[in-house]
Structure 1
C-alpha cells in the first residue's frame, strides 16, 4: 500500500511540474508586464484548480481497467459508465475554468465565448484524456513488470525445489553404493572392514553437514573425493590403479557440493567393478582463475557389452550443472576399452540458478 501511494504521488508531482512549465510558458505572452513570481503563482493556481476533473476521470479509468483485467473480460456497464465519467470530468473542468479561473484568477484577459463552446470542450477532453492515458499506460507497464517478476520468482522456486530433490536423490545413492562395498568386504570377512566403516563415517559427516550448504570450498570437495578414493582402494587392493592429480590455484573458491563425486562413482561402478583384470582410474582436477577443469578416465571391458548409464547419478549431476552453472561444458567419450568425461565450469558465474532471459 505504501509503495502504491508513493508511486501515485510521484506521478502526480511529475505531472504538476510538467503542466506548471507549460502554463508558465503560455502565460509569458499573455502577461508580459507581471513579475516572474506573479506569473508563476498564476500558473500554479491554474494547474491546481483544473486538477480535480483530471483526477476524477483518471482514477475512474484506472479502477475500470483494473476490474476488466481481473475478470479478464470487458464488463458491459463499464463503457457507459466511462462515458458518463468523462462527461462529468469535462463539465467540472469547464465550469471551474469559465466561472472562476478566467474571470477571478486571470481577470478575463481573453474571451471564453459560450459556456459550452465545442472547440473549448474538445480541448478540455484532450487535456483530461492525456493524463488519464498516461496513468493507464503506466499501470499496464507496472502490471506487466509485476507479472514477469511473479513468473520469475515462481520459476526460481521451482528450480530450487528441483535442485533440492536432485540432491536428496544423490546422497542416498552414494550411501547405497558405499554400503554395498562394506557388505562385500564383510562377506569376505576382510580385516579392512573396520577401516572402511570409519572412513564411511567421515563421508557421512560430510553428507550431513557440508552437502546441505549451497556452496563449499573446493578444498572440502577435494578432501571428500580423497576420502572416497581411500575407501575404494581398500576394496580393490592391487587390482586397481588410481591416479589423482590436482592443480588448484585457489582452494577457497566455492563450488556446489557433491558435484564431481557422481562421475567418480560411475567410474568405479562401470569400470573397476565390472572389469575382470587390472584396471585403472585417472582423475585430474584443475582450477585457474575460477575456471574448473575436471577429467576422469576409467578402463572398461573391450567386449563393448557394458553400457555406461546411471539414471540417478549422472543424469542428476547433468541437471544440477544446467541449473547452477550457466557456463559449463560436459563431454563424454564412451569407447570400447575406456570411458572418459571432460567437464569445465566457470565457477565465477554461479550466483543464481539459470533462468530464462526477461
Structure 2
C-alpha cells in the first residue's frame, strides 16, 4: 500500500508540473481561451501524453533493471530490448500528439506537424527521457540503499554471532579450570570438595542464564568475581588476596564475564604455579560510568617476554573491540609481578 501511495504521489506531481509546462508551451496559441479552460486542456493533454511514458517507465523499472541486476539475460539482449522499447514509445507518443492531443483536445488550434518531424521527435525523446530518468534514478537509489542496509545487517549479525561464540568459548574454558580445582581437592580428600561443587553450580547457573544478556549490572559482575575467588581460595593456603572496590553506581551496566578471565589468569599462572607465599591484588573503580580495573599477581618464572594471549585474554580483547568504543587494556609482565590495567568508558557502547 505504501508503495502504491508513493508511486501515485510521484505521478501526480509529475502531471502537475507537465501541465504547467504544457500551458507555457502552447499558451501563445490559446490567447482567446480563459485560463481555467487552458489549464484543463493542458492537463488532459498531459494525461494523454503520460500513457506511453508510464508504460515505458514501468517496463524499465520492473523488467529491464531486474534483468540487468540479476544477470538473468545477456546485457546485449537487454540493451536491444530497451532500444526497441524506446522506439515504440516515441512512435506511440507522436501518434497520440498528432491524432489525439492536437485535433481532439486542442481542436486543431496548434500547428500541424508531420508524424516524424525532427524537432517533435527530439522533444518526445527529452520528455520521455526526463520522467523515466527521474524514476530510474529513484529506483537505483532505493536498490543501493537496500543493498547497504542488507550489508549492514549481515555485518551486525556476523559480529553478534562472534560475540556469542566468544562468550560460549569462555564458559568451557572457565569450567575446565574449575574442574581441575575440584579434581585437586578430591585427590586430597578435602572437606571443601562439596562446597566447591555447590559454588561451581551457582556460577554455571549464572553463565547459562544471566550472561546471555548483552549487559548486566556491575554489582552482578563483582558478585561472580567474589564467588570465583571464594571457590579458588579453598585450594591455596599461602595465598593473600586483596579485593578493593569503589563503585558509585552498582546498577551501571557492563558486558557480562568481562573481568572474570583476568582473575582466572591470576590464579592459573600465579598462585597455582607458586611454591611460596603469593598474593593477588584486585582494584575495581567505577565513577560516573568510567571503569578502572587493576589486577596483579606474583609469579615465579621471572620471565619478562611478551605476553601471548591465551583463550581468555584473546576473548576479552575481542569482546572489548565489539562492545566498546573507548577502552584501554595494558598488560605488563615483570620478573616477579604480572599486572593488568583495564579502562572502559561503560557508556561508549559500540554499534554491534
TM-score (norm 1): 0.89
Question: Greater shift after overlay, 35-44 or 335-344?
Answer: 35-44
Query: Is 1:112 aligned to 2:109, yes or no?
Result: no
Give the SS at the match of 1:313: helix
Cα offset, 1:74, TM superposition = 4.1
> Given that residues 27 and 39 in structure 1 are in contact (C-alpha distance below 8 angstroms), is that contact kept between their aligned partners in structure 2?
no
Alignment map for 1:187-226 (pairs within 5 Å): 187-226=187-226
Task: From the superposition, tell whether residues 304 and 49 of structure 1 become closer, same or farther in structure 2 (CA, over 3 Å).
Answer: same
C-alpha distance 288-20 of structure 1, shift in aligned 2 (>3 A): farther
Q: Which moved more, 1:167-176 or 1:63-72?
A: 63-72
Query: Counterpart in 1 of 2:245?
Result: 246
Counterpart of 2:166 in structure 1 is: 166
Paired with 1:247 and 1:22, the residues of 2 have a C-alpha distance of 74
Following superposition, the deviation at residue 171 of structure 1 comes to: 0.5
Residue 54 of structure 1: CA displacement? 0.6
Return the alpha-carbon distance in structure 2 between the equivalents of residues 232 and 256 of structure 1. 23
Paired position in structure 2 for 1:356: none
The Cα shift of 1:306 comes to 8.3
Which residue does the alignment assign to 1:99? 99
CA distance in 1, matches of 2:79, 2:208: 63
Partner of 2:290: 291
Aligned to 2:331: 332
- Give me the whole-angstrom Cα distance separating, in 1, the residues matched to 2:58 and 2:72: 19
| Separation of aligned partners in 2, 1:311 and 1:302 | 17
The answer to whether the Cα contact below 8 Å between 2:67 and 2:78 also exists between their aligned partners in 1 is no
Q: CA deviation at 1:205?
A: 1.8
User: Segments of 4+ in structure 1 off by > 4 A?
Assistant: 24-36, 305-310
Is 1:56 aligned to residue 55 of structure 2? yes
Over 3 Å counting, the alpha-carbon distance change for 1:13 and 1:343 in structure 2 is: farther
Mark the CA change 1:308 to 1:79 in structure 2 (over 3 Å): closer, same or farther: closer
* Distance (Å, rounded) in 1 between the aligned partners of 2:262 and 2:158: 26
1:256 CA displacement: 1.6
Per-residue deviation at 1:266?
0.7
Instruction: Map Cα deviations across residues 149-203 of structure 1 (whole Å, 9 max, x no partner).
Output: 2222222222222222211111111111112112212222223223322222221
Query: How far apart, in 1, do the equivalents of 2:257 and 2:123 lie?
Result: 70
Contact residue 325 and residue 350 of structure 2 kept, 8 A: no
Cα pair distance change 1:112/1:294, threshold 3 Å: farther
Q: 1:143 to 1:247 in 2, by over 3 A?
A: same
- Equivalent residue number for residue 140 of structure 2: 140
Task: Check whether the contact 1:266–1:310 (CA below 8 A) recurs between aligned residues.
Answer: no
Aligned CA-pair RMSD: 2.4
- In the alignment, structure 1 residue 66 sits paired with structure 2 residue 62: no
Distance 1:33 1:330 in 2: 84
Q: d(CA) in 1 for partners of 2:135 and 2:14? A: 10
Q: 1:231 to 1:35 in 2, by over 3 A?
A: farther
Q: What runs of 5+ residues in structure 2 fail to find an aligned partner? A: none
For the 8 Å contact 1:57–1:89, the answer to whether it is kept is yes
| Contact 1:221 1:258 (8 Å CA) reproduced | yes
Match of 2:84 in 1: 84
Aligned length: 351
Post-superposition shift, 1:221? 0.7
- For 2:273, the equivalent position in structure 1 comes to 274
State the secondary structure of the residue aligned to 1:341. strand
